[in-house]
Structure 1
Amino acid sequence: MNDIIYLDNAATSWPKPPAVLQAMQTCMLEYAANPGRGSHQMAVKASRALFETRKQVAKLFGVRNPNDISFALNTTHALNQAIKGYLREGDHVICTNIEHNSVRRPLEYLRKHRGIEISYIQNDKTGELNVKDIEHAIQQNTSMVIVNHSSNLLGTIMPVGEIGELCRKKGIKLLVDAAQSAGILPIHVSDMNIDMLAFPGHKGLLGPQGTGGLYLHPDLELDVLLHGGTGSKSEDIDQPNVRPDRYEAGTQNTVGIAGLNEGIKFVLQETVEKIHARELLLTRKLMEGLMGINGLTILGPAWDQPRTGIVAFNIKETDSSELAFILDQSFKIAVRSGYHCTPLSHATAGTMATGAVRVSPGYFTTDDEVDALIAAMKEISTQYA
């Protein structure tokens, strides 16, 4: 598989730093026991691995107490915990019009079954947002604002700090979806007034799939999604209130979290700023190469505007899945096509008829690989001129 040019890092980053693989193998071979479920040496070592990773997450996001971070299967799991665990009947929620289905679907479920109200704020065609529109949408019963830090289709970066300041002044909780920003953009939960932060382990944090988590402000408590064994307060009939046990029922993915620990260490060592600068350089090189192709339209902010390493495009009215198939089969280039689990974004961008091809370079992507994608699209475009 090493001959594949992998440009789908917005879905899952690949390859991983070698230390990630080594940590997972070491865990499997030496201490893959249940953390928090025993007092023997292997269980204790597993518990220490989880706490060490929690400390790394806290360091990356400016969290004071590592126990305010609970591990989850992925960002979707974390978002569901935050949304379903906090919102009550009659609450009003504000979110943007470019949210992922991991936000939209839980909200629409609660609209049907719990009677919440939802206001979708309209972003412009490139995904840009006017914070004043959020302010104008606030009602007396508004309890939460939800925003993705960066669009997974358009690459647009949301003004989370400005939104957080507004929410703080109005006494509204802010939930941030960091699926496309954790490990790529600077995040400090206190400075940005973030009450809840859902993040993946398998994207910008360079860990394995099946990892992620939720930061929860120390003054907040949520209804839990899962009830069960926690390794603490086992004599009680109710789920314990102590963190992070309250939100981590069942055996955790110790092997994956051990790998995540090394991924975060790599990010901290390289620095988020360096990683973003590298991805932005590749992204701008890619956009410049694609802009001259006949019939090709790039979505999102202009090439010289702030954005994350996501470049989505179409060629005229061609179905995006057809283009991605050709890239895969004829050029051995892996990209993403379709609707990217965000139909709201496609409605905003005007691409519901075709979807879009999404190219997402990563920190380990080379200039030659970007050049190969550009050359391939130039060749493919001649078929649709």
Structure 2
Amino acid sequence: MSYIYFDQAASSFPKPDKVGQAVLEAINEYGANPGRGGHSLAVRANDVIFTARKKIAAMFGERNPANVCFYLNATQALNQAIQGIPFDEGDHVISTNFEHNSVRRPLEMLKETKGIVTSYIQSDGNGNEILELLENEISDRTKAIVVSHGSNVTGTILPIKEFGKIASERNLLFVVDASQTAGVLPIDIKEMNIDLLAFPGHKGLMGPQGTGVLIIRDHVDLLPLIYGGTGSHSEEIGQPLKRPERYESGTLNTPGIAGLLAGVEEINSVGLDHIYEHEVKLTTYCLDKLTQIDGIRILGPGAGIPRLAVISFTIEGMDVHEAAMILDQHYQIGVRSGLHCSPLAHSLMGTGEVGAIRVSFGLYNTIEEIDRFIEAVKEIKSFF
């Protein structure tokens, strides 16, 4: 029996063949340090990284590839974005109750260390009235809005274009966590007035783990989180101002970025529209089947409301971790259980104490896999 992987919201799998091939090629054929030498292997490594910057910039509407900065994951990128803003005591930041801890924890740390004030908009699971709630929270001390584009718990898609319009009109920094949407939904940072866009390479973009990106618009000046070697301007005592070096101290993950480039090329070849349509088809089908099982409670948007390919649910009378373990060990189906690093979202849904079971789909999942999953849930439910 083949294993079914339904944890795409955590990391996409399997990857396109060309991703693994690109990683292996980088290791075996040009494993030199990019930007740290003029010899041919270092130049080739640097060329691959620059090509990745260009293609990522183009995908997200950024005209300057130098504003594309690489990190190990979205968490590092978000920390650079949030902690790099020069906050003063009393500055106000607005976020939402859909946020991952990669947003919440840096904000709470700044609350303790710099005395900023944070507000988490208390919308419902559908995101209703969230724009009005945002408008009501803005004060003369508000400096930034930091939001997730899509929830990794409920699948709720937030209206970031409308958020960006409000932020632009109020002259506020707008930071977007696109961890669940990069490679799935179209994002144009200029059109959406996004100042800082963070996302992982290993989820929707189909790249390897250990890759993440922060796009920093020209007009935004962040304080670097990490200081050190940048491969250039070595005579300067301070961190250079030149981008992307200012925000990329140390050797980059060249094999990972080469794989990410291959993933981005695959996404461009398949097309975002096709990917989203496929994921919508799978999600709609699974939701319809789950709702027919007694004792299943589904979190997030109801029927007919657009959502990501993320479905969190509980089984009446059964521990979510036990259910996930049975699915894995007995049925060979990989899902995620617990709080999903997003306790605010679970508190919103009334599952803050127990968490939920989450299934999430990607480009290579099928209807047949969902049928096998539904039969497994029915059998598990029959024992409880």
Shorter-chain TM-score category? over 0.9
What does the per-residue CA deviation read over 1:174-223, in whole Å, with 9 as the maximum and x for residues that have no partner? 00000000000110000100000001000000000000110111011101
Cα distance, 1:139 vs structure 2:
1.0
What does the per-residue CA deviation read over 1:326-349, in whole Å, with 9 as the maximum and x for residues that have no partner? 100110000000000000000001
Partner of 1:199: 199
Cα distance, 1:4 vs structure 2:
1.2
AA in 2 matched with 1:11: A
Partner of 2:24: 25
Cα distance, 1:56 vs structure 2:
1.0
Cα distance, 1:305 vs structure 2:
1.3
Partner of 1:65: 64
Partner of 2:247: 247
Partner of 2:357: 357
Partner of 1:288: 288
> Unmatched 5+ residue regions in structure 2?
none
Are the aligned partners of 2:86 and 2:223 in contact in 1 as well (CA < 8 Å)? no
Is structure 2 residue 170 aligned with structure 1 residue 170? Answer: yes
Partner of 1:209: 209
What does the per-residue CA deviation read over 1:283-310, in whole Å, with 9 as the maximum and x for residues that have no partner? 1111111101110011111132101100
What does the per-residue CA deviation read over 1:267-298, in whole Å, with 9 as the maximum and x for residues that have no partner? 11111111011011001111111101110011
TM-score by length of 2: 0.98
TM-score by length of 1: 0.98
AA in 1 matched with 2:186: P
Cα distance, 1:89 vs structure 2:
2.4
Cα distance, 1:8 vs structure 2:
0.3
Distance 1:281 1:87 in 2: 44
SS at match of 1:104: helix
Q: CA 1:320–1:87 in structure 2 vs 1: closer, same or farther (change >3 Å)?
A: farther
Partner of 2:237: 237
Runs of 4+ aligned residues of structure 1 deviating over 4 Å after TM superposition are: none
Distance 1:123 1:33 in 2: 49
Distance 1:31 1:337 in 2: 40
Are the aligned partners of 1:122 and 1:129 in contact in 2 as well (CA < 8 Å)? no
Are the aligned partners of 1:4 and 1:332 in contact in 2 as well (CA < 8 Å)? yes
SS at match of 1:312: strand
Are the aligned partners of 2:320 and 2:354 in contact in 1 as well (CA < 8 Å)? yes
Distance 1:195 1:77 in 2: 17
SS at match of 1:86: coil
Distance 2:240 2:164 in 1: 30
Are the aligned partners of 1:127 and 1:300 in contact in 2 as well (CA < 8 Å)? no
Between Structure 1 and Structure 2, how many residues are aligned? Answer: 383
Distance 1:278 1:286 in 2: 12
Distance 1:317 1:171 in 2: 50
Distance 2:128 2:229 in 1: 44
**1:321-332 map, 5 Å:** 321-332=321-332
